[in-house]
Structure 1
């Protein structure tokens, strides 16, 4: 991986990238279903979410979900290549062709299952949870994740490795400022980045940001590296522009795309960043 020594800009994601903590998942689903018609089935829904993450459900990491039709979509990175129902039943070829032919089948129209947060989003759509309730549950669990009894764990090795990077380092997250800033400060990384963008609208906002950074640094995309856990948001846009990608996730993915590097843990991320800090 000689290209690592040519990297001049690294774009980091926040959630699932600078910390890894999925303990929020059950509480988030509880807050989401509390007071709804599904309250009595919270335990079953929590188990279903765990099955999705563990590759034991028809819906899996790396696939797309069509919330209107409630279809799960296999894909090739550009178009849907197959579809099944939530229960795993296959969709017949004629129905698939009429709905997902190349004329209509751009997968960007659907929901990518990239991490635990997106699993909750899909479940919220599947069970028809109203938007106000979704926002309330999101803000509630985000606040709880910074409280002492249920707080996320900051990873000192990653923080140290980022602080020692000699290249330009930026943070771009879809988290809104009202929660993102608190997380960045809690993790102790608020002073480590040359630029921080909250509410980044990834994947759509990432190409413009990459081009902006390339112009500022007078470099090409091949000298840029994006690190994130949600491949559709964090990696696809950068790879399409010619940049390099690191997917950090403990999960198995059904996405056929190949990333430059796959890391499973923050310890592995710290080790990778340490290699970038070594003299060429």
Structure 2
């Protein structure tokens, strides 16, 4: 069904990390880098929690909000922006009287309010839970991105993607909108041999805080209606929910089996490979 979206679209906006290349091993690499900051007992506990998250047996999950101030996890509705339930790390519901009822995407500060939108963020939340400082977590993330380019097996080209993008570009505008900085994004796109297929790169996008601003910019620049634009990404909060709110269409690259919210403007798929 996502190919029907593509056929009908005039503009396609792609995320980069987790979208335009294959594999999830880099998340494990990030976990190992963070674990190196802990003692042996904490390393084992970190890994145990991470395994629980991957198996869906922990409150930290994609689509949740990590409350760094209180070290708890919130259920958040991306359309009403309501915080509906808080749970601690033992998966117990907790009563919170001093938190807002709603939080908008532009209020995410990635310190006190952290959207868990893709696989990079559960390790972040666990690290915060163990008291690792934000600057140290960021340094680990940066090191992981460097290692992905240096080591074998961490950046895998999606089979058929280069050819598919080349075909799409014949009658559509293709844009990359990524939270990676410009240097990193250009390096990755060149390494993946797909840099020449995009009309535009929007780096350091600060998604989801500024996602709608970037999407509005694309809609206006290319003079199209929202329903003629498709957002493609692996992060529901960063790329999917904002697109739906603007009336765009979206393709969510995920191994999730069910939609967080029902809407006929988006589909689930786990690959763009042909």
TM-score normalised per structure 1: 0.84
> Which residue of structure 2 lines up, in the alignment, with residue 88 of structure 1?
91
Distance 1:135 1:81, change over 3 A: closer
Could you say what secondary structure the match of 2:91 adopts? coil
User: Closer, same or farther in 2 for the Cα pair 1:68/1:256, shift >3 Å?
Assistant: farther
Structure 2 residues without counterparts, runs of 5 or longer: none
- Structure 1 counterpart SS, 2:34: helix
Shift of 1:81: 1.2
Deviation at 1:40, TM superposition (A): 4.0
* Alpha-carbon distance in 1 for matches of 2:75, 2:5: 31
1:123-272 paired onto structure 2 within 5 Å: 123-165=126-168, 166-251=171-256, 255-256=260-261, 258=263, 260-264=266-270, 266=271, 269-271=272-274
Q: Find the residue that maps to 2:120 and give its secondary structure.
A: helix
- Unaligned residue ranges in structure 1 (runs of 5+): 272-280
Distance, in Å, in 2 between the alignment partners of 1:225 and 1:85 is 36
Distance (whole Å) between structure 1 residues aligned to residue 22 and residue 118 of structure 2: 11
Indicate the residue corresponding to 1:46 in structure 2. Answer: 47
Residue aligned with 1:155, SS: coil
111 and 254 in structure 1: CA distance in 2 versus 1, 3 angstrom threshold: farther
Map Cα deviations across residues 159-195 of structure 1 (whole Å, 9 max, x no partner): 2111110211100110123422221111111111000
Equivalent position SS for 1:45: helix
TM-score, length of structure 2 as denominator length: 0.86
Aligned to 1:68: 69
CA distance in 2, matches of 1:39, 1:132: 22
Total equivalences in the alignment: 261
Answer whether contact 2:25 2:154 (CA < 8 A) is retained: no
